[in-house]
Amino acid sequence: MRPSGFLAKTSALAIKDLRVELRGRDTLPPMLAFAFTVALVLAFAVPELPATARPTKLTVALAYVEAGFLWITVLFAGLIGFARTFEVEREEGAIDALLLAPVDRSGLFIAKAAANLVFVACVEAVVIPSLALFFAIDLGAGWLPLLGVIVLVDLGFVAAGTLFAAVAAQTRSRELVLPLLALPTLVPVFIAAIELTADLFLGAAFDDMAGRGWFAILLAFDVIYGVVAALTFELALD
Amino acid sequence: MSSQGAARRSYSDVLGLAAWASVAVALYLVFFVAREADISMGGQLQRIFYFHVPAAWISYLSFAIVFLASIAYLRTASRRWDLLAHSAAEIGVVFCTLVLITGPIWARPVWGTWWQWDARLTSTLVLWLTYVGYLFIRNLSTDGARAGRLAAVIGITGFVDVPIVHFSVQWWRTLHPSGPTVSNPAADSGLGGAELAAFFASLAAFTLLFAWLLSLRTRLGRLADRVDSLAVATESRNPAEPQRVPARNPVGEAT
């Protein structure tokens, strides 16, 4: 059966990208290995503190550093993967064929972003347990809110990252341009992610976390960049 | 064509004269009329404020122009808007750099530190990085027409980020009451009439200077376009004899 609706076509394109990855294994395994290695190296920078029942100044500072390390690892590994968003098409000269796909260009954006989302989720599935192990973090009941934070961060990260990957793909020195564009833009996402994650590492209650407004920043970024990226993606491509 | 160009030139010359005159007036007011500020605001050093704040205003104005001209360019595909966006971005980055240099020079003796992770400072730095990225896209793009479109996308997404960055860094630091809080230098500095006059004169001078630079930069861009089209025209006339520029070899010279 041929896909006909917008959703069916978009998911067909996304599945195509994932299938290429499944057969070639060019992007995800290096991303995962990179993320794991970075997590390992960063673990050497974290000092061991005596266990305390209550958060002290030192444990609070450490929680922020650990949250920062976590998101830096995800961000860098993610950007390395995003830089390859159009690599298959570029290498095989198939970008025109991709543009001919009988779907609105925003569908193309959603398909590429969805494939990138899967990659980032895989990276997080490796990095977060590894870092929890390395840093001896016990999340307790905090894992469910953390999942919410991850989803909100990933949506904005993938939306902005996929758009900038399309822009960077058409420049010389692509690999350098992508972080140059993406990192300043992602500053709000990064700050919000660190604040929320550090709160969870310190065992904050969900209500306290939600009351601080960081979810609103993430949500605003997701919505704004989701819309802007879907609208400008086609202009960046042709 | 030539009359239109001449009209543009004289318009630009008038702007240039006005800019230089207003700069002279502003300098006089800033250094000879405005009184020395309280020592808690830096004393004589407080005069940097008359350059710092107008430079910040010009950089924000430039980036707003980049944003609007980028949208106009994507809608019309007219080279005029592309050139305006490019010119405004270059000038904006220059003035934003001035903001980031003059700020720390004042802050070092007054706050006791070159840099504070204050909301305003952080968002200015992020903004500067964004538009440096914009200029990189211009220079690293593989072909000219595409560079305009790619840069326009960055000009839009970068500006949209400004309010989000602003709120996030504001909450980030307000929620960490460690370290001194940074107040707006204008708010409690007791600027009197003479100081306000100097400030607004400086603001006007910077704005005129900006308008003049913008007209010069867009003219430069138009002339560069003409040179390019002339080069293409001569090339297509004698395709058999491509003009050869003797390549300089800096390594070869030594041997």
Domain residue limits at A155: 6-237
Interface of A with B in 175-214 (CB under 8 A): 177, 180-181, 183-185, 187-188, 191-192, 195, 212-214
A183 and A170 Cβ atoms separated by less than 8 Å: no
* pLDDT value at residue B174: 56
In chain A, the percentage of residues whose pLDDT exceeds 90 is: 39
Longest dimension (CA), chain B: 73
- Cα dihedral A133→A137→A139→A143 (10° resolution): -50
- Rounded CA gap, B155 and B157, in Å? 6
**pTM for the complete prediction?**
0.83
B251 has a pLDDT exceeding 60: no
User: Pick the residue with more confidence: B120 or B247?
Assistant: B120
SS3 call for A171: strand
* pLDDT value at residue B231: 87
Measure CB to CB from residue B140 to each of A172, A213, A229 and give the nearest one: A172
B81 has a pLDDT exceeding 90: yes
Instruction: Write out the two tokens for B127.
Output: 């903004």
* Residue A164 within a domain: yes
* pLDDT value at residue A69: 93
* pLDDT value at residue B242: 52
* Residue A1 within a domain: no
- Please compute the mean of the pLDDT values over residues B166-192 and round it to a whole number: 56
B132 and B63 Cβ atoms separated by less than 8 Å: no
What B189-194 contacts at long range (C-beta under 8 Å, 24+ apart), as own/partner pairs, is B189/B37, B189/B38, B189/B41, B189/B46, B189/B49, B190/B38, B192/B35, B194/B29, B194/B33, B194/B34, B194/B35
Which amino acid belongs to residue A216? A
Four-residue CA torsion sign, A186, A189, A192, A193: negative
What residues have CB less than 8 Å from A151, skipping those under 6 apart?
none
B175 reaches A (C-beta below 8 A): yes
Report the candidate in B62, B52, B61 with the shortest Cα–Cα distance to residue B88.
B62
Enumerate the residues of chain A whose CB falls inside 8 A of the CB of residue B153.
163, 167, 232, 235-236
A65 and A46 Cβ atoms separated by less than 8 Å: yes
| Structural domains of chain A, count | 1
B28 reaches A (C-beta below 8 A): no
SS3 call for B180: coil
- Rounded CA gap, A179 and B136, in Å? 12
Enumerate the residues of chain B whose CB falls inside 8 A of the CB of residue A172.
140-142
User: Pick the residue with more confidence: B186 or B228?
Assistant: B228
A134 has a pLDDT exceeding 90: no
User: Pick the residue with more confidence: A77 or B121?
Assistant: A77
A53 has a pLDDT exceeding 80: no
Considering chain B, what is the average pLDDT of its residues?
Answer: 82
* pLDDT value at residue B195: 84
> What are the pLDDT digits (tens) for A11-50?
888 888 888 888 888 888 989 999 999 999 988 888 777 7
* Residue A149 within a domain: yes
pLDDT band at B186 (very low <50, low <70, confident <90, very high): very low
